[in-house]
Structure 1
């Protein structure tokens, strides 16, 4: 098993921009709907199946959650299933927002997305 590799918000942002990262959000649907990182794909931990993850052979999979704990759990599940995934956004959404990086959120008054 590979040790978990912590990635910074800046590394994730650069990887998304140049399409080298497939960002997997393992939070639950309500959390994802409330706010998310543009370009992230939802694979909730409550129904997580490592074998259902995409693998285009070009982009590395990187996991994220709210604080970093659930993404580490997803990595452990992947490795138990024989997959080599081991990268995550250290500090999760909290770190992303602390770095003042953009999120997509829903305006509760209108139901419309705001960035």
Structure 2
């Protein structure tokens, strides 16, 4: 059986995905603090720019997909799947900005 999400389902998925992206932005504060402790400015700037991108994206998703409904099991599965993909792509932004990915 293939489930077809409605527009309301997509709003709920986008809303909770935006919250998870904001959580990812908050976790990027830890590398900023560590890089400041070691006096490394370039990684700090990469992470600050990444946090700004994540905050804009997360807040935009939350604002556009504003809802007060809870998740059901289908929406939860989609949110988890998209969260892994989003965390993988968005978590690589500091690496891309640093330019070290060219050496791999």
Shorter-normalised TM-score: what interval?
under 0.3
Given the two structures, how large is their TM-score scaled by the length of structure 2? 0.27
More contact order relative to length (CA 8 Å, sep ≥ 6) = 2
Normalized per residue, the structure richer in helix is: 2
